[in-house]
Structure 1
Amino acid sequence: MTSGLPERLLQRRENPRRTSFLELFFDLTVIFALTRLSRAFLHDLSILGGFQVLVLLAAIWWVWFVTAWSADWFDPRAPLIVALLLWVMFGGLLMAAAVPTAFDEHALVFAVAYVAIHLGRAALLLPALRGHPLQVRTARVAIWFAVSGVLWIVGAALASVRELLWALALVMEYGLARLGWPTPRLGRSSWPDLQVNGGHLSERYQQIFIIALGELILMAGVTYSDAGFDHEHTMAFVLAFVTAVALARLYLVPAGGRVGAAIEAAGPPGSKLALLAGYLHLVMIAGVLATSVAMEMTIEDPAVRDHGHLVVGVVGPVLFLVGRILLSMLVDSHLPWARLIGVPAIIVGGFVSIGLSQLAASAIVAGILLLIVLLDAMPAMWRRESVVGSDAAPG
């Protein structure tokens, strides 16, 4: 343990790091936030509405990601870290509650909660980290969050430039993290300074992605329960379940479960991989969220023919696949050809679906996702058959 830092606060890097109960408890705020975001997008499928939801999602994701990253360094049983996670959780609940009107009357609630989360984290950690190198890293992050916080608060006060200023603040925050938070006189953090426990962070990524899929299943079930149990609504609900299963399989196999090993194998530069993986998980979760909205619309009115609904139903799976393809390239350094083919296939399927019911369009997309799963699994099946055949051959 590094001298000057209370032993009860810093997590020993050599110890196995599992997700704590409090971290999982904190994730409940994300479930609430995703349901609010899907409701907001469902009520406004315009380009502006989609952009606003993306901005809010990126802000909520950044709260989760920075918290997961910083919590990786500390003992979750330490009272200070417990207080920190509860502080972030309460702020996250305020942000989620404000989502439906975050660009209207409750913009200030959303912005103040967001800024208070990040600056409050620094206010708790900086005194406790006195004399430790982590204090400098925390100070760099806090200074830039104070700068971006001005954009958040001014954007909340000025409705005419709200989207622009909030988007600019997020671009600044995401970009500065990639650059190591360069700060006058304090320098920038190196990748060893930002080194994380690959197994723990990978587990957190998997858990939050499962939560995103859980929101899809939850909202599909609620919508189905309200819509009725006739033939068409039941078929739409089945398609929602099949789509969720396909997305889960495509995420987990293979690179979804190998992120942690790749981070650990890379050594200190693995923190760069962990950060990029975080950005790609945002893309994938945005895709799952859009898919959830599309499935809700399908269950609610399977016979509707609407171009806006169709676009959302195509954009969601495409966003997920793009993020997942890039994750495979990042972790395994190869292009998964089945998924590459799947992206244009889903887009073509969307064009073919023009004029068809939402139920038919969803069936086409679900069918393509299942085909991708099958094609993706074929190389592994061929290898197993080859091994079995080799073992059975006479020596």
Structure 2
Amino acid sequence: MAGSRERLLRHREDPVSASFLELFFDLAFVFTLNQVAVVLLADLSVGGALRTALLLAGVWFLWVTTTWSADWYAPDSPVVRVVLVGSALGGLLMGVAVPAALEGRAALFVGAYLAVNMGRGLLGLVMLRGHPLGRRIARILCWFAVSGVLWLAGLFLPAARVPLWALALLVEYAGPAVGWPTLRLGRSRPGELRLSGAHFAERFQQVFIISLGELILSAGLAYAKSGTDVAQTSAFLLIFATAVLLGLLYVTLGGRRLAPAIERAESTRLGAASNLLHLVMIAGVVSTAVGAELAIGRPGEPGAVGVVVAGPALFLAGRLLLSAAIDRRFSLPTLLGLPVLVVVGLVAADLPLLVATAVTTAVIFAVAVLDRARVFAPG
């Protein structure tokens, strides 16, 4: 029996490329990201942005925990197949609920989220019963049980829903960083948390490309609806250029240095940091997608300049910190680009949105050029 359970786990000789079902799971994430963007587009206020961030953090944690499970199990194991198909369905249901997740569809959002996370844990306990690594699953399940109480409490206490759900997410995001310490089960040891660097880095690249796809889709749909006048065409071309530049900035870091860094590092440190910082970068891309719709189709919307600038700024902040986590030093072009974007947001608040979009794209272009020159410089 021990040997059969051992065959369920990923080994170093297993292929690191994403499986068909992992890519299928990502398709659900495309829809859900689009729904998150809809929430922000409907309310551009600071409160609306915070509520959008809360929902995105929940959706993102579903993706992270599913990907983490897929990394622990053998790619062709029945556990992975059930987890990925179930998570794809859960992700789609969460996406359906997202626009009204804090109101009439809260039960659907929470129900899908808890069903995936608790179901994954219970399945792992059954499949790995008697195996030493089953204790890891038990610890994670205990932490989800604690956060699940907070999710359910928020469901039945609408007035306190936002703070209770925020606290639930705080518990969940803290778990991997501290090894899920649990009464009588102790804390997970580093050897239990090892990740396949190549597999995890590839999955991060794929989900980032998906977020860029949401940005391009939003820009294309807005352009198709608004017409092809000079202003709309210019805004569309600027957004497309921004998407290309964000992709280049990400690949220079995530595509080249993240995999070996994960392999070298103790997984609780860099794994948890990568999860959180990718959330920040993807939040930036989602915000940029909303900015694209505004710049192309609704240039007179109040607060639009803030969204147009905030998206790339969030991305640069996440990338800056990820670079520091990997290389133990900051990227100077990115570090300089952040305050410049803040100044752009303040100065361009009363300027036409097309001007703010052009200046923001120019800043991202300068950061990308200087960063690549730094990376590929001799010595």
TM range (shorter): over 0.9
* CA apart distance, 1:211: 0.7
Q: Which amino acid aligns with 2:187?
A: R
Deviation string 1:225-283 (CA, Å, 9 cap, x unpaired) is 111111111111101101101111111113542111111133xx144212211111001
- 2:317 aligned with 1:322, yes or no? yes
Match of 1:283 among 280, 284, 294: 280
**Could you tell me which residue of structure 2 aligns to residue 337 of structure 1?**
332
Q: Which runs of 5+ in 1 are unaligned?
A: 385-395
- 2:162 aligned with 1:167, yes or no? no
Matches within 5 A, 1:233-312: 233-266=232-265, 269-302=266-299, 304=300, 306=302, 308-312=303-307
Distance 2:204 2:33 in 1: 16
**Could you tell me which residue of structure 1 aligns to residue 59 of structure 2?**
60
- 2:214 aligned with 1:215, yes or no? yes
Q: Provide the secondary structure at the position in 2 that maps to 1:174.
A: helix
Q: Is the 8 A contact 2:176 2:268 kept in 1?
A: no
Moved more, 137-146 or 375-384: 375-384
Query: For the structure 1 residues 183 and 248, does the alpha-carbon distance in structure 2 shift closer, same or farther, using more than 3 Å as the test?
Result: same
Q: Which amino acid aligns with 2:233?
A: T
Q: Provide the secondary structure at the position in 2 that maps to 1:193.
A: helix
Q: Is the 8 A contact 2:205 2:254 kept in 1?
A: no
Distance 1:74 1:354 in 2: 50
Distance 2:79 2:365 in 1: 47
Q: Provide the secondary structure at the position in 2 that maps to 1:192.
A: helix
- 2:372 aligned with 1:377, yes or no? yes
Q: Scaled by the length of structure 1, what TM-score is found?
A: 0.92
Query: For the structure 1 residues 300 and 6, does the alpha-carbon distance in structure 2 shift closer, same or farther, using more than 3 Å as the test?
Result: same
Q: Which amino acid aligns with 1:56?
A: L
* CA apart distance, 1:78: 2.1
* CA apart distance, 1:80: 3.0
Distance 1:380 1:131 in 2: 48
Distance 1:138 1:322 in 2: 33
**Could you tell me which residue of structure 2 aligns to residue 194 of structure 1?**
193
**Could you tell me which residue of structure 2 aligns to residue 205 of structure 1?**
204
Q: 4+ residue runs of structure 1 moved beyond 6 angstroms?
A: none
Q: Which amino acid aligns with 1:173?
A: E
Q: Which amino acid aligns with 2:288?
A: T
**Could you tell me which residue of structure 2 aligns to residue 156 of structure 1?**
155
Deviation string 1:90-139 (CA, Å, 9 cap, x unpaired) is 11111110000001100111011111111100121111101111211001
Distance 1:378 1:172 in 2: 40
Moved more, 257-266 or 3-12: 3-12
Distance 2:83 2:253 in 1: 34
Query: For the structure 1 residues 271 and 180, does the alpha-carbon distance in structure 2 shift closer, same or farther, using more than 3 Å as the test?
Result: closer
Q: Provide the secondary structure at the position in 2 that maps to 1:344.
A: helix
**Could you tell me which residue of structure 1 aligns to residue 72 of structure 2?**
73
Distance 1:331 1:243 in 2: 24
Distance 2:92 2:5 in 1: 30
- 2:182 aligned with 1:178, yes or no? no
Q: Which amino acid aligns with 2:93?
A: L
Q: Is the 8 A contact 2:308 2:357 kept in 1?
A: yes
Q: Provide the secondary structure at the position in 1 that maps to 2:82.
A: helix
Number of residues paired by the alignment? Answer: 379
* CA apart distance, 1:223: 1.0
Q: Provide the secondary structure at the position in 1 that maps to 2:191.
A: coil
Distance 1:108 1:314 in 2: 34
Distance 1:132 1:382 in 2: 49
**Could you tell me which residue of structure 2 aligns to residue 116 of structure 1?**
115
Q: Is the 8 A contact 1:325 1:336 kept in 2?
A: yes
Q: Is the 8 A contact 1:19 1:204 kept in 2?
A: yes
Q: Is the 8 A contact 2:16 2:199 kept in 1?
A: yes
Aligned alpha-carbon RMSD (Å): 1.6
Distance 1:305 1:83 in 2: 45
Match of 2:347 among 348, 352, 356: 352
- Larger gyration radius, structure 1 or structure 2: 1
Q: Provide the secondary structure at the position in 2 that maps to 1:15.
A: coil
**Could you tell me which residue of structure 2 aligns to residue 93 of structure 1?**
92
Q: Scaled by the length of structure 2, what TM-score is found?
A: 0.96
Distance 2:231 2:366 in 1: 23
Query: For the structure 1 residues 149 and 23, does the alpha-carbon distance in structure 2 shift closer, same or farther, using more than 3 Å as the test?
Result: same
* CA apart distance, 1:181: 0.5
**Could you tell me which residue of structure 2 aligns to residue 46 of structure 1?**
45
Distance 2:311 2:174 in 1: 25
Q: Provide the secondary structure at the position in 2 that maps to 1:6.
A: helix
Q: Is the 8 A contact 2:337 2:363 kept in 1?
A: yes
Query: For the structure 1 residues 16 and 279, does the alpha-carbon distance in structure 2 shift closer, same or farther, using more than 3 Å as the test?
Result: same
Q: Is the 8 A contact 1:4 1:131 kept in 2?
A: no
